[in-house]
Amino acid sequence: MAQRIRITTPTLMVMQAIAQGYDGDVYGLLISQETGLGTGTVYPILERLEGAGWVEGRWESEQPSGRPRRRFLSLTNLGRTQLETALAARKSRRHMPTWAGGNAGA
């Protein structure tokens, strides 16, 4: 069963960073650096997105010297659809008219 994801601002930031691609090699620490979010925020979001099928990952093919292998991430088709829907919803909420004064409907 698909996991329900609440799209918070940090979740949206992570999804946008993955969508930007950065030459196809997007990984958790890069997302953290690009978004300004801490790794303690980014990695749990990535786990939820991957669990929901919105993100897929692949491990770096070889073990580099001096650091752990990276897990490269990309949005799935479902993830791209969810990102587009979330961005459209945010955009429409930002452009709602605000009414000055009182007596609405009076």
Containing H/E element for 72?
Answer: strand 71-75
* pLDDT at residue 103, rounded to an integer: 53
User: 9-60+70-86, what's its fold?
Assistant: Arc Repressor Mutant, subunit A (1.10.10)
At 103, is the secondary structure helix, strand, or coil? coil
Apex 55 CA angle, 20 and 2, nearest 5 = 145
- Look up residue 47 and give its DSSP letter: H
List, for residues 68-89, the tens digit of each pLDDT value.
999 999 999 999 999 999 999 8
pLDDT band at 1 (very low <50, low <70, confident <90, very high): very low
Domain spans in the chain, listed from the N-terminal domain onward: 9-60+70-86
pLDDT per position as a tens digit, 14-64: 999 999 986 678 999 999 999 999 999 999 999 999 999 999 999 988 888
Residue 100 pLDDT level (bands cut at 50, 70, 90): low
Query: How high is the pLDDT of residue 3?
Result: 66
In 3-state terms, what secondary structure has residue 25?
coil
**pLDDT for the residue 96:** 55
How many angstroms separate the first and last alpha carbons of the chain?
Answer: 49
Please say whether the beta carbons of 54 and 46 come within 8 A: no
